[in-house]
Amino acid sequence: MNDETPARAKSAAPQPEPFLDTSGDSDEPAFSWLTPTDGDERGGGEPAGDKAGGEEPAGEKSVRPGPAAGGHAGQPETRAHRKAAEAAVEASAPGNHAAGSSAAERPAAGSSTAAPPAEEPGAGSGSPVFKEPLPTSALHVRPPEEEVERRNAQRESAANAKPVAPRVMQVLLAIIYPFILLILAVRAVTTPLFLWVEYNRPGFPGDGYGFNTDDRMTYGSYSVDYLLNWAGPRYLGDLVQRSGEKLFKDGEVSHMADVKAVILSTFGAGTLLLLLALVAILYLRKRSTGGIRRGLFAGSIITLVLILGLGTLAALGWQQFFTEFHRVFFADGSWTFSLDDTLIRLFPSQFWIDAGIAIGAMVFLASIVTLVLTWPTRRRRGVAPEAKKVDAEQEKVDQP
């Protein structure tokens, strides 16, 4: 009776908290199909270190299961040790061994069941080696080399491809720019200020039929105003000289009406082109870094080519150039007059030569200024900051 009471009290006592020391655990995956290899599990008996009066082998840090009669067993350090502890408990059951078997006989019986676990080289003590099965081959099927190269080429092409819309806007700006400059230059000479400069400059031919400078300035201003307003042909047809005769003949009024239609159409087209250029500039400012500069740079080059080509043709044969220009916009016979007609007296041949030179000079200077301001220097292309960055990094590397 006295012997049973301590045993019951001992069995009823609360079990101590398990000692979980993970310092020696290996990195094996925690899946049920990852079973240790042969010899990784311990036998059903107790380890040799549990023999009476025995000590644990050196380097063993895991807690070995105690005797079944003690009421509780130590917690294994790894899954292999846990399995070994369960096998030891099963081996110590009454049906597996004789009642009179001693603790010294259990390790011998358990040693025939499994060998101690093998340890990885360099791993901690008690770390078993697990062999993973080969991965599923279907998950590692690689496409043919031709397919891989094709996909890589498509990926690189997609990465290097630039948006189409910014390029279209740059081309549009480059094409529009020469026409805008040309129309603005034409508008600059279609003013009373240019008339005054021409009539008062030294060397300008005078009128052999009686118009002085004041008469030319007055009648010429009427002609220029008619080209820019919305009045009808009567604006010029009703003008008379001091003698009471009509200032302009019917043929001259008809030709000025044709010139007015061309001038207003040109200025209207110029306004539309200017709006398109502003749209392109606003778009490129938001969507393309340096797009405005590249578009204007290309436009200035196109303008220089055009103005130099037209200037060369005009210099080689002004009369032929002037005639072909009128044939493009006016019907034959509607723009030829005699020397005593008012239009010829107000706007002689020298006036049109000077006007052409003024238009060419203004377009040329504007394109040169644009070319200089948009020239792709290293700083404008963003190369200089990168070069400085590379130099700074190189200096850091060179420093000890």
Convert the pLDDT of each residue in 169-190 to its tens digit.
999 999 999 999 999 999 999 9
Taking the chain, what is the end-to-end CA distance rounded to the nearest angstrom?
A: 85
> For every residue of 7-57, which 3-state class applies, written as one string?
HHHHHHCCCCCCCCCCCCCCCCCCCCCCCECCCCCCCCCCCHHHCCCCCCC
The C-alpha atoms of residue 140 and residue 215 are separated, in whole angstroms, by 96
Domain boundaries, the chain: 36-131, 164-381
Predicted confidence band of residue 389 (pLDDT cuts 50, 70, 90)? low
| pLDDT at residue 374 tops 70 | yes
| pLDDT at residue 102 tops 80 | no
When pLDDT is averaged across residues 75-93 and rounded to a whole number, the result is 63
Residue scoring higher pLDDT (117 or 376) = 376
Chain segment 103-154, per-residue pLDDT in tens: 444 444 444 444 444 444 444 445 555 555 555 555 556 778 888 888 888 8
| pLDDT at residue 256 tops 90 | yes
Angle value at C-alpha 391, between 390 and 396, nearest 5 degrees:
95
CA distances (Å), origin 177, targets 13, 71, 304: 98, 99, 11
Q: Cβ distance 140 to 75 under 8 Å?
A: no
The C-alpha atoms of residue 106 and residue 251 are separated, in whole angstroms, by 135
Q: What is the pLDDT of residue 56?
A: 45
Percent of the chain with pLDDT over 90: 46
Residue scoring higher pLDDT (80 or 74) = 80
Q: Cβ distance 42 to 116 under 8 Å?
A: yes
**Mean pLDDT estimate for the chain:** 76
Q: What is the pLDDT of residue 179?
A: 95
Chain segment 276-306, per-residue pLDDT in tens: 999 999 999 988 888 899 999 999 999 999 9
Q: What is the pLDDT of residue 143?
A: 76
Token code pair at residue 6: 């301590």
| pLDDT at residue 99 tops 90 | no
Question: Which of the residue ranges 159-168, 263-272, 390-399 would you say has the lowest mean pLDDT?
Answer: 390-399
Q: How many CA atoms lie within 13 A of 122 on its CB side?
A: 0
- The tokens 């599923």 sit on which residue? 136
